[in-house]
Structure 1
Amino acid sequence: MKYGIALFPSKKLQDLVNSYRKRYDPHYALVSPHVTLKSTFDAEEGDLEQITKELRQTAKTSQPLHLEIKKVSSFSPVNNVIYLKVEPTNEMQELHERLHTGALNSEPEYAFVPHITIGQNLSDDEHSDVLGSIKMLDIHHEEVIDRFHLLYQLDNGSWTVHETFLLGKESE
């Protein structure tokens, strides 16, 4: 089964992001706006007990994360993804690194660039137009996120939460 680990921002920020995603992101209906901490990985059901045990320990020894967004950016020319740039913090980088060790040991496919996708799979012209208009927005958002989520992918391609882990606290 396919799994991933993500942070979900506040409803206020998700509503703002979704106002764009419904037009510019074909994955809009498959997953809520999020910051990916660990990209999709395969795991057997028998491995979940060890994985969730390690995730509980990681969460317990990590502090809530400060999330700050100041601008819109893009991964162009590598790919036509438009996103809200999450200001990187040492705490977020350390959590990302810890989620690639132990039972989840793997090399990340890409350098960790915390972001929330607004649009993807756009043609070059559409990407240029959308990026130009969205960059004019005055975006500044700050919040504290106190949990991360282990997600799994359903047969229809959508993602749902398997378990939530509270940062800096013992999980129930």
Structure 2
Amino acid sequence: MKFGIVIFPTKKLQDLANSYRKRYDTHYALIPPHLTLRSGFEATEEQITELTKKLEEIAGNYEPFRLRVYRVSSFHPVNNVIYLKAEVTEQLEGLHNEFLKSFDDGQPEYAFVPHITIGQNLSDAEHSDVYGSLKMLDIDHEETVDRFHLLYQLESGQWTVYETFRLGKDNQN
């Protein structure tokens, strides 16, 4: 089964992202707006049982933290993805690095750039037009992150929550 680890932002930020995603993101119907902490990986039920214990431990090591999204950016020319850029924080990088250490599958394909995708699989011309207008948006949103989610992918391609992990020692079961 395929799994991933994400942060779902507040409804306000999801609504902003979705206002663009429904037009520009081919994955709009498959997963809500999210910030990926660990991209998709394959695991068995036994491996996930072990992993959930490790994720619970990691969650207990991090207190809730501030997430700031402050502009529209793009991964062009590597790929035609447009996203809401999140400020890199010690907590985000720490969580990402802890998740990397929890898996024994080598280095990730891309460097960690915290973001929420709002457009992907665009042609070069579409990307240029859409990014040209969206990068002018004045975005400055802050919220508190107090949890992350382990997701799994259904046969339909949709992603759904497998388990939620609340940050902080006080939030542990």
* TM-based fold match above 0.5: yes
Aligned to 2:27: 27
**Whole-Å separation in 1 of the counterparts to 2:72 and 2:92:** 19
1:105 to partner: Cα distance: 3.0
- Deviation at 1:65? 2.5
Equivalent residue number for residue 99 of structure 1: 99
Asked if the contact 1:99/1:105 (under 8 Å) is kept, the reply is no
CA distance in 2, matches of 1:13, 1:19: 10
Structure 2 match to 1:49: 49
Confirm or deny: 8 A CA contact 1:69 1:86 kept in the other structure. Answer: yes
Where structure 2 has 5 or more consecutive residues not aligned to the other structure, the ranges are none
Whole-Å separation in 2 of the counterparts to 1:61 and 1:8: 19
Q: Hey, what does 1:149 align to over in structure 2?
A: 149
SS at match of 1:148: strand
CA distance in 2, matches of 1:13, 1:101: 29
Structure-to-structure mapping, 1:38-77, within 5 angstroms: 38-77=38-77
- In structure 1, runs of 5+ residues without a counterpart are none
The one-letter code matched in structure 2 to 1:161 is V
Q: Deviations over 1:100-137 (max 9, x none)?
A: 123x2332221000000010000111101101111121
Give 2:8's aligned residue: 8
Equivalent position of 1:80 in the other structure: 80
- Tell whether the 8 Å contact from 1:86 to 1:114 is kept in structure 2 after alignment: yes
- Structure 2 match to 1:111: 111
Could you tell me how far apart the structure 2 residues matched to 1:114 and 1:143 are? 15
Q: Runs of 4 or more off by more than 6 Å in structure 1?
A: none
Give the fraction of aligned pairs with identical amino acids, expressed as a percent.
Answer: 62
Q: Does 1:89 pair with 2:99?
A: no
**Structure 1 residue 48: deviation in Å?**
1.5
- Read off the aligned partner of 1:46 and give its amino acid letter: E
Q: TM-score, normalised by structure 1?
A: 0.96
Q: Distance in 1 between matches of 2:46 and 2:155?
A: 19
**1-structure distance, mates of 2:68, 2:94:** 17
The 3-state SS of whatever aligns with 2:100 is coil
